[in-house]
């Protein structure tokens, strides 16, 4: 393999990871605020179909991307309403939406199956694209890939370098503490879930209008991307930089499968296509291995200095989810009202009993 | 504004704050009934009362978390409206909550800056906040590292962060909601020193507590609330603990429970060099050895999070032991499952009574048979004997004075004290050989606390071996025959009750051997 093909291959890895990057960042924002958006897999498919359909009908790529984001935002709004306002299980709501949106995309998308549509073009950046190696890797991409680079750093800076980001961390970790400091927890959760949803929605057209242009229904190969993005969010420790790294690793593994296929002829091609998925799961397990009891026991038996080193390493790798993830927030005054109701009912019960005993 | 009106932090003083005729109703409950209260600059005014007396409600009204139905608040003689914590903060009122309002995964400086405007607009200005924290810490003598993460700090240090946070926001009046509940005696002394310093500097402090000796020690005046009503306000120097206790409860209360003399029997519970992990991945216990005899209460004293939870869990089979062994009645039961230990008559009064003690969605009667439901007479083959279960429930409700509308009431609808009575009834009525009691009176009021302690002493008289794990030093001293102090997963020392003083135990709890005066465990 020449250096040039290798570079182009790697540039392709960066491009094909872009959609996953959006999904991971979107999910990270949503989960940082404490809302688990499990609908991701379906949302991506529906946004891919919808984005393609709009771009095809209007012959306007930008409208296609906006449509994808709108679909993502709307689905996220349903998740937010069900989990924040109705206080329903985020897992149940997300799961049902994931299935519904997927099937909806196959159903509504059938008129657009296999029709040739618009596709985002590669736009080399003048000057920068002429830099050896880096130019090929980073600056001969399409618009959406550039956007993915930008969003990784924007999201990271937002969460870790701004006031609002600090509050976002507070809302996901300990909403009561954020509330006491003047944050409108409910509103902020809505906002971040919807923005996160819009980013997840962007993933769809990033496939159907760029990386894998067109809509192919069930054989689009997009089913499952949402789940892996969910895993990468966790692997990334709710940090956009680590999450992006996970997305690139996943894309790299997929590319490796393609490259190795002609070499490893005795391995069925399906194995190489599917391998990235279990490999990602395996990575995830490794990262969080410190939680396992046998590891704990093995560590306890080691000499003090070795134990400390490994404990530190495991702690650094392990990421704990936002403490309030999936927990509805009820401000204290509301809780008191409910408690009062209970007491009132109990008191009534006592009174009835007293009357009953008397006669 | 004159110079003398300023606090060291640069804020204006609050000369007087007056609460007049505050009434707050929740559906079915009158939480505050025409309560008057006032606090002046340079004093600690203690607010004393049992759980549910209305202390917290009153303070939450003052802090803008609740809105009163009637009454008014006057600041320096002028009426003010406080409709949110933000209003309260702007007026110079700060609050240290009982459950700290800190985000554990963030640093000290991030927690202080959280929610405040930044001098750099949208970006954070943590370096500047950090500088100001160091300044404030110097002025008030609070040692704190701004870049430390909250999860790395001890409870006492976390409390200091809360105080700094309030001072940073310009608090002139500070409400401290049960601030000593989680501290060691030494940490309490440090807190009191800080409080005295603040009072000298012109701050006004409201100290909420139900610990009488602390109120007597630190406050200038004391107000007692009972059932939402104010019972009275007096200068602390003109009251005694006995008067205050009677005010709080509304009847005469005894302080020292009657222990009686009991002959110790054979060793029932024995731990040899037990080590185990904790939920945080760090070692939970590191070579703990102890034994409890029949008729003996062994008290485990220590600051929260030093391995008490793990100790209770390994004895009751809820956590795996990495090395060492546990003997029950002389037989090795290391890593036996909880069910097996139940068969061997081990009973457990868990720390988290709502989570581990009862099943919230089960009725009182069902909760009372959790340990024995699979046996005669409560079940025969696959079927439950509902009549016997009901009769059993009635007997226990009667005997243990559980206040419940009926035996079919769900456990989650009972008060904390009555839930604990249900747990006690279930665990004690089977005449266990060994009892593990973890924080058995935490969060209970004086009446319920008295009852639980009497029951434990009753069991001791019957000849049960009792392992009492408590963070309440008064409780340990009142009940135990011997006291073991746990620190960072190790037993620092085991002292007979006669030799134990709060000072000595306090040092051990902080990891210091009194004789050597040095850290033994690092």
**Separation CA A156–CA B356 (nearest Å):** 40
The answer to whether residue B390 neighbours chain A at the CB level (below 8 Å) is: no
How many CB pairs (< 8 A) connect A and B?
A: 112
> Which chain A residue has its CA at the smallest distance from B68's CA?
A333
The answer to whether residue B281 neighbours chain A at the CB level (below 8 Å) is: yes
Which of B97, B102, B115 is closest, CB to CB, to A167? B115
**pLDDT at residue A262 in the model:** 84
What percent of chain A has a predicted confidence (pLDDT) above 90? 47
- Cis peptide leading into B377, omega within 30 of 0? yes
**pLDDT at residue A298 in the model:** 72
Enumerate the residues of chain B whose CB falls inside 8 A of the CB of residue A182.
Answer: 84-86, 115
A255 pLDDT exceeds 60?
yes
Enumerate the residues of chain B whose CB falls inside 8 A of the CB of residue A345.
Answer: 413
What percent of chain B has a predicted confidence (pLDDT) above 70? 95
CB contact under 8 A, B113 and A163: yes
The pLDDT tens digits of the residues spanning A227-238 come to: 989 988 987 889
Average pLDDT score over residue span B15-30: 88
**pLDDT at residue A297 in the model:** 66
Minimal CA separation from A153 to chain B, in Å? 15
Average pLDDT score over residue span B354-373: 89
**Separation CA B108–CA A243 (nearest Å):** 26
**pLDDT at residue B2 in the model:** 42
Q: What 8-state DSSP symbol labels residue A142?
A: B
**pLDDT at residue A334 in the model:** 44
CATH of B256-345+431-522, one of 3.40.50.10540, 3.40.50.620, 3.40.50.720, 3.40.50.300: 3.40.50.300
For A74, phi and psi rounded to 5 degrees? -65, -45
SS3 assignment for B419-467:
HHHHHHHHHHCCCCCEEEEECCCCCCCHHHHHHHHHHHHHHHHHCCEEE
Average pLDDT score over residue span A52-66: 95
Distances (CA, A) of B361 to B222, B409, B410: 41, 9, 6
> Which chain B residue has its CA at the smallest distance from A318's CA?
B281
DSSP3 helix / strand / coil % (chain B, rounded to 5) = 35, 25, 40
The pLDDT tens digits of the residues spanning B282-298 come to: 678 999 999 999 999 99
The residue with tokens 């501290």 is: B183
The answer to whether residue A171 neighbours chain B at the CB level (below 8 Å) is: no
* Cβ contact B27:B39 at 8 Å: no
Interhelix angle A185-206/A61-80, rounded to 10 degrees, is 140
The answer to whether residue A300 neighbours chain B at the CB level (below 8 Å) is: yes
CB contact set of A118 (below 8 Å; sequence gap of 6+):
A55, A56, A59, A60, A61, A64, A209, A213
CA angle B325, B326, B331 (to 5 degrees): 110
CB contact under 8 A, B281 and A170: no
The answer to whether residue A353 neighbours chain B at the CB level (below 8 Å) is: yes
Q: What topology is assigned to A3-317 in CATH? A: ABC transporter involved in vitamin B12 uptake, BtuC (1.10.3470)
Average pLDDT score over residue span B158-171: 91
CB contact under 8 A, B277 and A300: yes
Average pLDDT score over residue span B242-268: 79
The answer to whether residue A343 neighbours chain B at the CB level (below 8 Å) is: yes
Average pLDDT score over residue span A184-209: 96
- The two domains B3-101+171-249 and B256-345+431-522 share their CATH topology (first three levels equal): yes
| Residue bearing the bigger pLDDT, B520 or A129 | A129
**With bands split at pLDDT 50, 70 and 90, how would you rate the model's confidence at B355?**
confident
**pLDDT at residue B3 in the model:** 47
CB contact under 8 A, B118 and A323: no
> Which chain B residue has its CA at the smallest distance from A333's CA?
B66
Average pLDDT score over residue span B247-259: 72
The pLDDT tens digits of the residues spanning B374-386 come to: 888 888 888 888 9
Q: How many CB atoms within 10 Å of residue A101?
A: 25
The secondary element (H helix, E strand) that includes residue B403 is: none
* Cβ contact B59:B95 at 8 Å: yes
The pLDDT tens digits of the residues spanning B309-330 come to: 899 999 999 999 989 999 999 9
- Architecture per CATH, domain B3-101+171-249, reads as 3-Layer(aba) Sandwich (3.40)
CB contact under 8 A, A297 and B122: no
CA dihedral B119, B125, B130, B132 (to 10 degrees): 0
What percent of chain A has a predicted confidence (pLDDT) above 70? 85
B518 pLDDT exceeds 60?
no
Distances (CA, A) of B385 to A111, B1, B370, B380, B422: 64, 77, 14, 7, 20
Which of A176, A181, A311 is closest, CB to CB, to B114? A181
Q: Where do the domains of chain B lie?
A: 3-101+171-249, 256-345+431-522, 362-429
B-contacting residues in A 123-162 (Cβ below 8 Å) = 161-162
The answer to whether residue A4 neighbours chain B at the CB level (below 8 Å) is: no
B515 pLDDT exceeds 80?
no
Q: Where do the domains of chain A lie?
A: 3-317, 329-359
- Our measurement of the distance from residue B353's CA atom to the centroid of its chain's CA atoms, rounded to an integer in Å, reads 13
Average pLDDT score over residue span B354-361: 87
Which of B65, B97, B115 is closest, CB to CB, to A333? B65
A122 pLDDT exceeds 50?
yes
């Amino acid at each position: 393999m020449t250096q040039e093909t290798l570079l182009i291959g790697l540039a392709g890895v960066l491009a094909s990871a872009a959609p996953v990057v959006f999904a991971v960042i979107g999910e990270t924002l949503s989960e940082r605020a404490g809302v688990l958006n499990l609908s991701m897999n379906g949302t991506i498919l529906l946004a891919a179909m919808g984005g393609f359909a709009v771009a095809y009908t209007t012959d306007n790529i930008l409208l296609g991307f906006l449509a994808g984001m709108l679909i993502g935002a709307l689905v996220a709004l349903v998740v937010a309403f069900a989990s924040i306002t109705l206080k329903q299980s985020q897992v149940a709501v997300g799961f049902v939406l994931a299935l519904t949106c997927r099937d909806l995309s196959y159903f509504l998308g059938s008129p657009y199956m296999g029709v040739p549509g618009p596709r985002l073009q590669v736009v080399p950046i003048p000057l920068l694209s002429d830099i050896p190696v880096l130019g090929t890797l980073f600056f001969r991409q399409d618009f959406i890939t550039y956007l993915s680079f930008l969003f990784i750093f924007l999201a990271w800076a937002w969460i870790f370098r701004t006031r609002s980001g600090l509050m976002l961390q507070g809302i996901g970790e300990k909403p009561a503490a954020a509330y006491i400091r003047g944050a409108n927890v409910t509103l902020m959760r809505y906002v971040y879930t919807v923005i996160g949803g819009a980013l997840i929605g962007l993933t769809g057209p990033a496939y159907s209008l760029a990386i894998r242009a067109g809509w192919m229904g069930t054989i689009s190969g997009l089913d499952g991307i949402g789940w892996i993005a969910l895993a990468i969010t966790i692997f990334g420790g709710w940090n956009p930089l680590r999450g992006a790294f996970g997305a690139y690793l996943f894309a790299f593994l997929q590319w490796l499968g393609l490259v190795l296929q002609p070499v490893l002829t005795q391995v069925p091609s399906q194995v190489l296509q599917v391998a990235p998925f279990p490999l990602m799961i395996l990575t995830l397990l490794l990262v969080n291995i410190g939680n396992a009891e046998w590891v704990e026991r093995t560590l306890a038996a080691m000499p003090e200095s070795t134990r400390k080193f490994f404990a530190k390493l495991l702690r650094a790798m392990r990421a704990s989810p936002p403490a309030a993830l999936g927990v509805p927030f009820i401000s204290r005054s509301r809780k008191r009202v409910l408690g009062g109701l209970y007491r009132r009912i109990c008191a009534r019960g006592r009174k009835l009993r007293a009357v009953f005993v008397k006669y | 504004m004159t110079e003398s009106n300023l606090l060291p932090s640069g804020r204006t003083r609050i000369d007087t704050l007056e609460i007049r005729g505050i009434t707050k109703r929740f559906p079915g409950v009158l939480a505050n009934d025409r309560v008057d209260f006032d606090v002046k600059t340079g004093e600690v005014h203690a607010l004393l009362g049992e759980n549910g007396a209305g202390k917290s409600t009153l303070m939450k009204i003052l802090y803008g978390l609740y809105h009163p139905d009637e009454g008014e608040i006057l600041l320096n003689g002028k009426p003010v409206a406080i409709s949110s914590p933000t209003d309260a903060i702007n007026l110079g009122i700060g609050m240290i909550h009982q459950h700290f309002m800190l985000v554990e995964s963030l640093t000290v400086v991030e927690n202080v800056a959280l929610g405040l405007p930044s001098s750099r607009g949208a970006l954070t200005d943590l370096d500047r906040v950090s500088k100001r924290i160091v300044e404030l810490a110097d002025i008030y003598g609070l040692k704190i590292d701004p870049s430390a993460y909250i999860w790395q700090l001890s409870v006492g240090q976390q409390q200091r962060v809360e105080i700094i946070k309030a001072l940073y926001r310009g608090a002139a009046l500070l409400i401290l909601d049960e601030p000593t509940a989680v501290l060691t005696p030494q940490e309490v002394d440090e807190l009191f020193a800080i409080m005295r310093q603040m009072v000298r500097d012109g701050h006004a402090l409201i100290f909420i507590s139900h610990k009488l000796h602390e109120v007597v020690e630190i406050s200038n005046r004391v107000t007692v609330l009972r059932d939402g009503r104010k019972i009275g306000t007096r200068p602390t120097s003109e009251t005694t603990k006995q008067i205050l206790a009677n005010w709080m409860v509304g009847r005469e209360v005894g302080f020292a429970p009657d222990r009686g003399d009991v002959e110790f029997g054979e060793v029932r519970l024995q731990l040899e060099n037990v080590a185990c992990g904790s939920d945080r991945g760090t070692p939970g216990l590191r070579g703990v050895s102890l034994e409890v005899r029949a008729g003996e209460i062994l008290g485990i004293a220590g600051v929260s999070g030093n391995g008490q939870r793990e100790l209770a869990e390994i004895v009751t089979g809820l956590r795996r032991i990495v090395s060492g062994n546990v003997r029950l009645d002389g037989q090795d039961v290391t890593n036996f499952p909880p069910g097996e230990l139940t068969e061997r008559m081990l009973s457990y009064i868990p720390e988290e009574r709502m989570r581990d003690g009862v099943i919230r969605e089960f009725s009182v009667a069902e909760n009372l048979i959790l340990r024995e439901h699979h046996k005669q007479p409560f079940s025969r083959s696959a079927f439950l004997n509902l009549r016997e279960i009901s009769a059993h429930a009635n007997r226990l409700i009667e005997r243990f004075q559980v206040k419940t509308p009926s035996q079919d009431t769900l456990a989650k609808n009972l008060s904390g004290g009555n839930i604990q009575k249900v747990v006690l009834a279930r665990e004690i009525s089977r005449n266990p050989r060994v009892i593990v009691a973890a924080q058995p009176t935490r969060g209970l009021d004086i009446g319920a606390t008295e009852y639980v302690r009497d029951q434990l002493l009753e069991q001791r008289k019957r000849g049960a071996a009792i392992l009492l794990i408590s963070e309440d030093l008064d409780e340990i001293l009142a009940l135990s025959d011997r006291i073991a102090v746990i620190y960072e997963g190790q037993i620092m020392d085991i002292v007979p009750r006669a030799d134990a003083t709060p000072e000595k135990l306090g040092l051990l709890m902080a990891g210091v051997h009194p004789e050597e005066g040095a850290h033994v465990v690092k």
